[in-house]
Structure 1
Amino acid sequence: MWQLKKEQNVPIYRSIMEMIVQKIQTGELLPGEKIPSERKLAEYLSVNRSTVVHALDELVDLGWIVRKRGSGTIVNEGKWGVMMTPRTDWHRYLEQNVFKQVHPLVAEIELRAKQNLPTDLDMYTGELPLDLIPSFDFPALNWKQFLKEEAQDELGYLPLRKEIQAITATEYQLHLPSESLLLTSGAQQALFLVLQVLLRQGDSVAVEDPSFFYALPIFQAAGVRLFGVPMTEEGIDLEALEQTIRQHRIKMVMVNPSFQNPTGTVMPLRKREQLVKVCQTYQVPILEDDVFGQLSFISKTEIPPLKKLDPDNVLYIGSLSKILGSTTKIGWLSAPASVTKQIAEARKMMDVSLSIFPQMLAKMAIEDPSFSEKITLLNKQVEQRATAVYQVFKSLSEWEVSPVKGGFYLWAHWCQGALKPEDWQVFLREGVLVAPSVAFSEKRGSIRLNCSRISPEEMPLFCERMVRITRQLSENRQTKIEH
């Protein structure tokens, strides 16, 4: 297992580092697993002990491993605080395939979802089903019209930016100046640009735990450390956040205060104001992800964006993809004008273009006289489906759930402890595809379900399968106790 591949012009300690990182990434070394002692590792690799010590010290600093008194050196339990290796060797970088690092269980579920088996109930995929995506009649356009409109400025298609300005002003009384609004190819491109332009390798970012940010490999790829902050029923734990800011010199706080992904938690106004105040005190900017803002089952006046509470210190990400379908891929980033300009210039230098086609289609959809009516209907349909899924879980005492107040997701916590690998296979055998909590956190006892993807006709079948799944999970637990 411990064979070192030495390369010319590469220090031996770096080769040792990369060997250990590769073993962690491929699953040869598991979270919490003990690494051989420095003396034994030096013997296995036929190198000096001081070289091994140097390599392990570097990996501790990067967050890949942890030294515990009395226990030796172990693999870090999760991705919190982990960075990529310090030198940029593009050949190795591609070999490590950082953008495809996926937990084996998540990869298995993703593959199953892509097979689109008619017997499966896919509540894993994070998109609207086709039957709920609003349809619009678009006017006939010729190629010259697209070419004419393509002469957009670097911030994106101005007519669409004005439509988005109108939406945020009407729904939130949030006024976003056009010079502060950058259109992006989806919310994740906005996040990518923030990481590339405003943060540096080695910077630390605080996010909610659990969080979909945890699932994104772009943080490790950028060399940015993620630190998870526990959540309460009202969102991020502010006392824990302050401690994290002080302990890890946090450079940015990234939160999803409305219909948080994956938990669906809604941060109340009082706590939003407190969060803004904490970040002002420590002079730490906030990145607010509000991609589900259009899918609210409660009054939007109850949950104003953080951007409205603190326009200067909050970067605001929104999206149309959640209501118009992922193929539209339209998101936006609102920041102070000077920051927006800097990010737009950086995008231009990266040659990360934004096609005019989805921008024009999105503008025409918003301009459609029936747009508001169709979005209202969409909200009603998703709410009805979410309520039905919630009722299924409420009837099963082994699960702990809260009502869905907006967005797609219901977060269900298994009350009998962590879910083991064999437990997840029960879901797959029953054909119920869900997102496991390991995709969003180091925790092992919860599932995320996209309620929008279960039609009223499929609900009885879903109920039957969840009853069987719950019974089998309980039996699995009882068998372990008896043994």
Structure 2
Amino acid sequence: MWQLNSDSKLPIYLQIVDLIETKIMNGELLPEEKLPPERKLAALFGVNRSTVVRALDELTSRAVIVRKQGSGTIVNAEKWGLFAGQSTNWRHYLTQGGFTPTVPYVRQTGIIEKHHSDKIIDASTGELPLEMTPKLETPSRSWQSFIAEEQLEDAAGYQPLRETIEKQMRVAYDLNVRPEQILITSGAQQALFLITQCLLKPGDAVAIESPSYFYSLSLFQSAGLRIFALPMDSEGVIISELKDLYHKHRVKMVFVNPTFQNPTGLVMSLQRRKELVKVCAHLQIPIVEDDPFSELAALDENIPVPLKQLDTDNVLYIGSLSKIMGSTTRIGWLIGPAAVIERLALARNEMDFGLSIFPQVLASAVLNTTGYDAHVKQLQQILMERRDFLIRALEETLPNELIYNKPAGGFHLWISLPMEFRSIRDFDIFANNDLLIMPGFLFGVKETIIRVTYARLNQKEAFQVAQIIKKIVTEN
């Protein structure tokens, strides 16, 4: 396990550095896992202790490990506040340059689901199952007709689709925007990528909700940004905490998911939304509002207006079809000031990230069919039923033992367990019991909390999930 490459021409201490970094990248060493003591590592490598100390000093300077007096050396589990800016260093080209690899836990979960889908219950994937994607007819078109539609496309995307989104935003949210304020993207993550790469610079501080799925995205650290936790209460982000972060770290941008927040399902109150946009406007901090779930409100709930409606100038709004039509749709949009949209559109073209005309034409056609509205209403109904299946199963199986709030929409239930895990590896117990979930550490929290995606669970599977959780809780 701790064997060095005898063919390497690097100095021994750098070989040790590379070995430990590789083990972390591959998931052999997990966040918060303790490394062997210095003397033991020296013995394992057959080197002087001073060589090991030099290697650990190098890893500490990069914030890869944390060394605490009396506690030993552990793999750093925190992203909060770290600067992950990269320097030109060919030795680390594959492991540190460019885009940060997928979190090992997520990668391993995907492997398990792929190879054992027949017996595994997947309550981790935040995507629509196939049976809930729309059963709509797409228009029959010739290849030439698709090519002809390219005449209606510019750097910001297919004009008819942008006009359709403009109309939808006006009807749904009373939000008046112009087509030149809309950038079509290949999903929400491309919008986030363009924002982090083109509007921010390495070393900039940004605030994200805690907990948040933003925490698990590699693109923030790949852009060299320092992310800081913005705590929430039952109404949303705590404004006083945002002010403190701004004054301590000069926060340049705030990223929020105010409606059916991922992973908590929380809906930020209207009063808190007003306070947030007011404070950010005063401090001149742009807000990025990620809003993939608004159309999926439970039928008996009304949700507050988007932040974008409260401040059209200072909010960048991200929408997506992935939660309505399936992740393979790969259609999202970014709404912002025309100058910002133009800058990001040109930057994307320079990166050769142009969009295919095919999904844009099809998305525009589907959004303009009467069947689309019927699909959304049916999807709302199914999600509400599946939410209730899971909550009923948990209440019957583990009455008064779990802590969670009933979400008014979205896909997820955020569940606090009545137990304590000492290590990230302890979460493997769920996969060992044929249940895939998303543990809290992926969202930036250390408590024993899990995100269960009910969108993928029928009634039978919901009760199986409850039984597995009960087994884990009672046996630990």
Determine if the TM-score, normalized by the shorter chain, exceeds 0.5. Answer: yes
CA separation of 1:52 and 1:259: change in aligned 2, threshold 3 A: closer
Tell me the distance in 1 between the aligned counterparts of 2:104 and 2:77.
15
**Residue type matched to 1:230 in 2?**
P
What displacement does 1:444 show? 4.0
Residue 475 of structure 2 corresponds to 475
Instruction: Output one character per residue of 1:282-325: Cα deviation in whole Å (capped at 9) or x when no partner.
Output: 21111110011221126786411111111111111000111011
Tell me the distance in 1 between the aligned counterparts of 2:378 and 2:31.
47
Alignment of 1:26-45 (within 5 A): 26=26, 28=29, 30-31=31-32, 33=34, 44-45=49-50
What displacement does 1:121 show? 2.0
Given candidates 406, 431, 436, the residue that maps to 1:433 is 436
Residue 141 of structure 1 corresponds to 141
Residue 242 of structure 1 corresponds to 243
Instruction: Output one character per residue of 1:208-260: Cα deviation in whole Å (capped at 9) or x when no partner.
Output: 11111111111111111222222222222222222222222211110000011
What displacement does 1:450 show? 1.6
Tell me the distance in 2 between the aligned counterparts of 1:206 and 1:238.
12
Unaligned runs of 5+ in 1: 477-483
Tell me the distance in 1 between the aligned counterparts of 2:12 and 2:286.
40
Given candidates 412, 415, 422, the residue that maps to 1:412 is 415
Tell me the distance in 1 between the aligned counterparts of 2:332 and 2:353.
14
What displacement does 1:424 show? 3.2
Give the secondary-structure state (helix, strand or coil) at the position aligned to 2:296.
coil
CA separation of 1:20 and 1:237: change in aligned 2, threshold 3 A: farther
Alignment of 1:141-220 (within 5 A): 141-151=141-151, 152-220=153-221
Residue 479 of structure 1 corresponds to none
CA separation of 1:473 and 1:360: change in aligned 2, threshold 3 A: same
What displacement does 1:377 show? 1.3
Give the secondary-structure state (helix, strand or coil) at the position aligned to 1:107.
helix
Residue 322 of structure 1 corresponds to 323
Alignment of 1:238-387 (within 5 A): 238-297=239-298, 302-387=303-388
* Identical residues among aligned pairs (%): 40
**Which one is further off, 292-301 or 259-268?**
292-301
What displacement does 1:85 show? 5.3
**Residue type matched to 1:427 in 2?**
F
CA separation of 1:421 and 1:439: change in aligned 2, threshold 3 A: closer
What displacement does 1:440 show? 1.4
Q: Tell me if structure 1 keeps the 8 A contact 2:216–2:442.
A: yes
Give the secondary-structure state (helix, strand or coil) at the position aligned to 1:399.
coil
**Residue type matched to 2:409 in 1?**
G
**Residue type matched to 1:264 in 2?**
G
Unaligned runs of 5+ in 2: none
Residue 126 of structure 1 corresponds to 126
Residue 452 of structure 2 corresponds to 449
Q: Tell me if structure 1 keeps the 8 A contact 2:30–2:75.
A: yes
Residue 113 of structure 1 corresponds to 113
**Residue type matched to 1:443 in 2?**
K
CA separation of 1:47 and 1:378: change in aligned 2, threshold 3 A: closer
CA RMSD of aligned residues (A): 3.3
CA separation of 1:314 and 1:16: change in aligned 2, threshold 3 A: farther
**Residue type matched to 2:412 in 1?**
Y
Alignment of 1:12-23 (within 5 A): none
CA separation of 1:468 and 1:378: change in aligned 2, threshold 3 A: closer
Q: Tell me if structure 2 keeps the 8 A contact 1:64–1:83.
A: no
Q: Tell me if structure 2 keeps the 8 A contact 1:182–1:340.
A: yes
CA separation of 1:179 and 1:35: change in aligned 2, threshold 3 A: farther
Tell me the distance in 2 between the aligned counterparts of 1:134 and 1:203.
41
CA separation of 1:145 and 1:300: change in aligned 2, threshold 3 A: farther
Residue 481 of structure 1 corresponds to none
Give the secondary-structure state (helix, strand or coil) at the position aligned to 2:295.
coil
Tell me the distance in 2 between the aligned counterparts of 1:296 and 1:68.
47
Residue 95 of structure 2 corresponds to 95
Tell me the distance in 2 between the aligned counterparts of 1:66 and 1:421.
16
What displacement does 1:192 show? 0.5
Q: Tell me if structure 1 keeps the 8 A contact 2:156–2:183.
A: yes
Tell me the distance in 2 between the aligned counterparts of 1:376 and 1:194.
32
Calculate the TM-score normalised by the size of structure 2: 0.87
CA separation of 1:77 and 1:422: change in aligned 2, threshold 3 A: closer
Tell me the distance in 2 between the aligned counterparts of 1:313 and 1:401.
33
**Residue type matched to 1:155 in 2?**
A
What displacement does 1:467 show? 2.5
Tell me the distance in 2 between the aligned counterparts of 1:413 and 1:343.
40
Q: Tell me if structure 1 keeps the 8 A contact 2:100–2:219.
A: no
**Which one is further off, 289-298 or 305-314?**
289-298
Tell me the distance in 1 between the aligned counterparts of 2:447 and 2:84.
24
Q: Tell me if structure 1 keeps the 8 A contact 2:60–2:67.
A: no
CA separation of 1:34 and 1:423: change in aligned 2, threshold 3 A: closer
CA separation of 1:190 and 1:464: change in aligned 2, threshold 3 A: closer
CA separation of 1:299 and 1:268: change in aligned 2, threshold 3 A: farther
**Residue type matched to 2:258 in 1?**
P
CA separation of 1:81 and 1:307: change in aligned 2, threshold 3 A: same
Q: Tell me if structure 2 keeps the 8 A contact 1:172–1:300.
A: no
**Residue type matched to 1:122 in 2?**
D
**Residue type matched to 2:147 in 1?**
L
CA separation of 1:48 and 1:437: change in aligned 2, threshold 3 A: closer
Instruction: Output one character per residue of 1:41-99: Cα deviation in whole Å (capped at 9) or x when no partner.
Output: 996455998x987x57843xxx5455768868765332222333531346633234774
Residue 480 of structure 1 corresponds to none
